[in-house]
Amino acid sequence: MYKVFVNDIPIILSTKEDMGEKYTSIPLKKAEFKAIIKNITNGRLLYVNLYHKKEEKLIKHLLKKLPVVTAAGGLVFNQKDEILFIHRNGRWDLPKGKVEKKESLEEGAIREVEEETGVKDLEITEFLQETYHIFQRNGKYKLKVTHWYRMKTDYTGPLEPEESEGIKKVKWKNSDKAKKALEKSYGNIKLLFPEEYLSGYAKNWVS
């Protein structure tokens, strides 16, 4: 099963035709993404399940539906086991951005974290997962696929928000402050955190 977010509402991609009474289930091959996105945005749809009998086909068909933007980012920990957050558009987020041509996903993830936060000496410790969300640019819908990596750093220098990208703050947050930050974050970001970080409302969407 996969989740593709429109704002904070997840479209479910699954192998199950029946996900329960509250879900509108549509065969993935027949899904009209633009109409579905508009209905979610207008509040007419909250629970959508797009299904295909073969799990390996779910992402393959999704990637055919919309133009894809490839991005990468980091869930970054310092020596105090604090997590690096950025604040943009009134919400707490994690540093990420579009991967450039001739750049590996890992290189792009490290570069974006450095550029958006000023944090250096980053080391990737593991790949976490991909997240998917749909956004609109110049009147067209696109699918952003973000490749997330867990990182660590010994950096203790100043934090420098990349203001040209609309970032207002960069903060290291301990587990308690991270939990509060996630209450004002995004659905796809919450997928990267263990359940104990999430409020009851968030758990309903990401579990």
Beta partners for residue 149, in sequence order: 74, 127
Please state whether beta strands 48-51 and 24-27 pair in parallel, antiparallel, or not at all (unpaired). Answer: parallel
pLDDT of residue 62: 87
> What are the residue boundaries of the structural domains of the chain, listed by start?
2-65, 71-206
Instruction: Report the pLDDT value the prediction gives residue 197, as an integer from 0 to 100.
Output: 74
Q: Judge contact between 148 and 72, C-beta under 8 A.
A: yes
* Alpha-carbon span 207 to 204, nearest angstrom: 6
Give CA–CA dist 165/156, Å, rounded.
23
Backbone angles phi, psi at 87, to 5 degrees: -120, 120
How far, in Å, CA of 178 to CA of 107, rounded? 26
- The residue among 141, 185, 182, 187 whose CA lies nearest residue 4 is 187
**Of 142, 148, 134, nearest in space to 191 by CA:** 148
Per-residue pLDDT of the chain in tens (207 residues, 90 and over written 9): 999 999 889 999 999 999 888 999 999 999 998 899 999 999 999 999 999 999 988 988 888 889 999 999 999 999 999 999 999 999 999 999 999 999 999 999 999 999 999 999 999 999 999 999 999 888 889 999 999 999 999 999 999 999 999 999 999 999 999 999 999 999 999 999 988 776 543 434 333
> What torsion do the CA atoms of 95, 99, 100, 105 make, to the nearest 10 degrees?
110
**E strand or H helix at 91:** strand 91-93
Tell me if the pTM is above 0.95: no
Superfamily of domain 71-206: Nucleoside Triphosphate Pyrophosphohydrolase (3.90.79.10)
Give dist(CA 193, CA 151) in Å, integer.
Answer: 14
